[in-house]
Structure 1
Amino acid sequence: MVLRFPHRWPDWSAYAAAAWSLLYGLAGLYWTLGGAAYPFAKVDEDLTASSFLEPSRAEVVGPFIAATGALGVVTGILMARRRGHGVSRLVLLGLGWLQAVAFTLLIPDYTIIALVAFSPALLIFAFTGVPGDQGGVGDIIYWHRGNLIIIFVGGLLWTLAALAYQRRSRHACVRCGRDDRPAARWTSPEAARRWGKWAVWIAFAATLPYDITRLAWYFGWPLGITEEFLAEMRATPGMLEVGLGLGVASAVGSVLSHGLVARWGEVWPRWVWFKAGRRIHPATAIIPAGVVAVALIPGGRMALQQMPQEGLWGTTGPAMFWILWGLALGAATLAYHLRRRGVCRHCGRGAPAPDLVKAA
């Protein structure tokens, strides 16, 4: 039963989204009534996040959070119980997708993508200490940032809930999304392979500005920054190494995205010796690539908000391309899904037409 739980996401996602809205809505009510730890309050500049809700006052935003949570509970339950026809269906869909977009793309900042990139380093920092002035891992993932992670998770739940309700309410398969109408040409495996390759190359190009600047700083070239700023980074133990690590992580991510259109993205290659030659389950690539694609967009949006100072375009300028990277990686992930989905075990759609089978 535990193994089947993820596979049954269309059945539980709306209830999970409603439960998340209930809990976060209650937190909003708590902050409205003067409760502590309001996550969007003004804090020291070194501990601030970059959400557009920060800084704000609890008595202003708290009621909005509580009301949004209450609306989410009603919306999620109605979706889960398969209510809504005509206009009411469109309203529920609109509310579901609005929350999905707001909680994944609009409210978070670069925290999610930084967490993905830093996850290996955080394990090391937990035992060796954090480079620079930070006192520990808690100084990196503090409450203002942890709250944004919670919101992002809620956004993912609402994305699943809205997608399941959209498919179910138009009488399509909740697992694969196909219905009895003829499939569009762009969704065929052949077409998806063609435009998926373009998406992968765009994603690769979008990473280059960030990768090149961080590599240049490590080797002493102040590309996009001043000599003084580079000297400050050199004076901070581990700072250039962290920047290099992030650049390498970005480059590795762009290389791995090539697997979405390559053979080694479908069958484990020889260098993964314990699984070499075995078929790769599509979810193994789709889930991480999809999450990273979504997480990149708010990070790039944050860079657009924080226009760099004169002579320091290299600090945030390259990250503006993360929006393009996220969109392209999302398109490449969709193309991979369309190529790999095959015959649906749930509805049986996707099998070749009988006349084509005879011709073969």
Structure 2
Amino acid sequence: MEKTHLRESPPARTGALATGAAAVAGLALAGVGASGIAFDIVGGIMAAIAAVTGESGVVDLGFDWPMAAGRAAALAAGTTLLVTAVRRRRRSRGACARCGRPAGHDAAQPEGRGDAGHTSPAGGGRGTGQARGSWQRLSVRAGYLTVLLAAGYGALKVQWGLGGTFGLADPRAFGDVHLWTPGLGDTGVLALIGMALGLGFARTWRPPLRMPRWMPLTAAFVGSVMLVPVGVLGTGLRVAVALGLAKVPLEGLSPWVFDVIYPWFLAWGLAMGTAAVGYHHRTRGVCRACGRGRPAFVRHTGAEGPPAREGAAPTTL
């Protein structure tokens, strides 16, 4: 008998209000934490590199341990509240709180393949299947877009580290810098990680070295949380500058670099998040709570069953 963890009756009005309050509080806390987490992470990396190499970074982001810890705690608390709200909402709809699959989901139903050739969960009517296929195609394209955006940003920082002057109003703005100067090569490595994540999500690759799937998904979550707030705040600041409401030093960079890079960050973060969500739904496997779904990372050759790829073990959510 299929094991379910569902509530049969809808939540009371107080339960709905509690769910809404948890969602609002979660968004507020996550917003506070995400507003500066990117500078905390990059600043910490730059400080560590500076301690090893003895070189100062191209910019001084600083690193405040108490503030960084406070923002990380706020982000963690906000994320927890949002997950709690989502699970309460799922239970109120009669779905599994853990995976969100509805009670009518057939665990034995084969998965379909989208136009990109990647497995996607099946179930529901024709309209539902078409919507799911459109979403999966969008998430795959978002993965490839992530690769392009990460590559562009990484190329810009690496060419500065190699002595290039593209994007500099003053060719001597960075002085005597090297690829290992904090803020240049390290951000290039972060861009490489972003490229790998985007390609892996788009191609629905199995995580290497028996790495659990939550690790690349967590990396994508952190990357999106770093990029989206900086993109939003930076784009707003550039609009204010264009309207004459604010003035910021350019630090020897061409103005167009700031006009392009902040919307670039925003698009990169949104694309990575979209690709990660699509990858999660394609690879979430059998739910440990309700038993619905089917093993992930398998090829389906017919209706008789999904033979696993050689050396691939089924995953569970």
Please report the TM-score for the alignment, with normalisation by the length of structure 1. 0.59
Identity %: 22
Q: What do residues 228-247 of structure 1 show as CA deviations (whole Å, max 9, x unaligned)? A: xx524216898955223213
Higher relative contact order structure (alpha carbons within 8 Å, sequence separation ≥ 6): 2
Pair 1:306-2:237 in alignment: yes
Instruction: Report the Cα distance in structure 2 between the residues aligned to 1:144 and 1:83, rounded to whole angstroms.
Output: 41
Instruction: Report the Cα distance in structure 1 between the residues aligned to 2:196 and 2:305, rounded to whole angstroms.
Output: 39
Runs of 4+ aligned structure 1 residues displaced above 6 Å come to 236-239
* Change beyond 3 A, Cα 1:291–1:252: closer
Pair 1:198-2:141 in alignment: yes
Instruction: Report the Cα distance in structure 2 between the residues aligned to 1:304 and 1:114, rounded to whole angstroms.
Output: 16
Pair 1:85-2:12 in alignment: yes
Is the 1:108–1:148 contact (alpha carbons within 8 Å) kept by the matching residues of 2?
yes
Is the 1:297–1:327 contact (alpha carbons within 8 Å) kept by the matching residues of 2?
yes
Instruction: Report the Cα distance in structure 2 between the residues aligned to 1:209 and 1:340, rounded to whole angstroms.
Output: 28
Instruction: Report the Cα distance in structure 2 between the residues aligned to 1:143 and 1:359, rounded to whole angstroms.
Output: 54
Q: CA deviation at 1:178?
A: 0.8
Which aligned pairs between 1:1-360 and structure 2 lie closer than 5 A? 84-86=11-13, 88-105=14-31, 108-109=34-35, 111-117=36-42, 121-126=46-51, 131=56, 139-181=62-104, 183=124, 184-185=128-129, 194-227=137-170, 230-234=171-175, 241-262=182-203, 265-266=205-206, 268=208, 275=209, 278=210, 280-307=211-238, 311-315=254-258, 317-351=260-294, 357=303
Specify which structure has the higher proportion of helix. 1
Instruction: Report the Cα distance in structure 2 between the residues aligned to 1:300 and 1:173, rounded to whole angstroms.
Output: 35
Please report the TM-score for the alignment, with normalisation by the length of structure 2. 0.66
Q: What do residues 273-297 of structure 1 show as CA deviations (whole Å, max 9, x unaligned)? A: xx3xx4x432232222223223321
Structure 1: runs of 5+ lacking an equivalent:
1-9, 11-81, 269-274
* Change beyond 3 A, Cα 1:359–1:346: closer
Q: What do residues 206-265 of structure 1 show as CA deviations (whole Å, max 9, x unaligned)? A: 3344333323333444333311xx5242168989552232133223322232112336x3
Instruction: Report the Cα distance in structure 1 between the residues aligned to 2:228 and 2:161, rounded to whole angstroms.
Output: 26
CA RMSD in angstroms, aligned pairs only: 3.8
* Change beyond 3 A, Cα 1:108–1:328: same
Q: Which moved more, 1:242-251 or 1:327-336?
A: 242-251
Aligned residues between the structures: 260
Q: What do residues 87-107 of structure 1 show as CA deviations (whole Å, max 9, x unaligned)? A: x44433332222222232466
Q: CA deviation at 1:202?
A: 1.9
* Change beyond 3 A, Cα 1:332–1:242: same
Paired amino acid for 1:266? R
